[in-house]
Amino acid sequence: MPKINVPGTGHGEFTSPAGNRYWEYKDDKIKKILDQAIWIIQHSVTRMKSCDDCFKALPGGRNFNDVWKDDRIWINFEPRADRDWYGITFGVGGTDISISQSAFDKGRWWVAGTLVHELAHTNGATITSKDADKTLLKCGLVSAYEGVIGVQSVAKKDFYV
Ligand SMILES: [Zn+2]
């Protein structure tokens, strides 16, 4: 399973060149919502063949369960709610995801959807297509689907949203 960046893991906190925060979860209320989102993924999303199949069709070629087993992936926290994104992945095929406060403001289902969307980017979904967001339709997370095409920092291309 992806690892959650909480104090004591040794992962630490970093801010990307574009100014995005990949920080630790220190607030128990926020961490609880993340745990609920992970519960949804463990008990529902991982059991859907349609989700495995649509992940396998992404450029990275791994099914959802393969990605979910990848403990090189870290789930970090962006404490600001004024970002124009809910989730972000550092670098192409990167293993650091950050979920913003604005996703947590929308609740556990939105956080689960954001996480699956970003996991699709770790599996090669590009930001020039709707592929990452479309996985939500096959992974039981229709309520978090927006048909989003990612935007990328023009000045500093260090992330996928
Ligand atoms: Zn995206």
Domains of the chain: 3-7+20-160 (3.40.390)
Output the pLDDT for position 155.
Answer: 46
**How many A from CA of 120 to the centre of ligand 1?**
8
**How many A from CA of 13 to the centre of ligand 1?**
22
pLDDT tops 80 at residue 63: yes
**How many A from CA of 76 to the centre of ligand 1?**
16
**How many A from CA of 118 to the centre of ligand 1?**
6
**How many A from CA of 88 to the centre of ligand 1?**
7
Contact (Cβ atoms closer than 8 angstroms) between residue 133 and residue 126: no
pTM (2 decimals)? 0.92
Q: What is the mean pLDDT of the chain?
A: 91
**How many A from CA of 85 to the centre of ligand 1?**
9
**How many A from CA of 150 to the centre of ligand 1?**
4
Angle between helices 108-122 and 131-138 (to 10 degrees): 130
**How many A from CA of 149 to the centre of ligand 1?**
6
By CB atoms closer than 10 A (0-12, 13-18, 19+), residue 49 is exposed
pLDDT tens digits for range 132-155 = 999 999 999 988 887 776 654 444
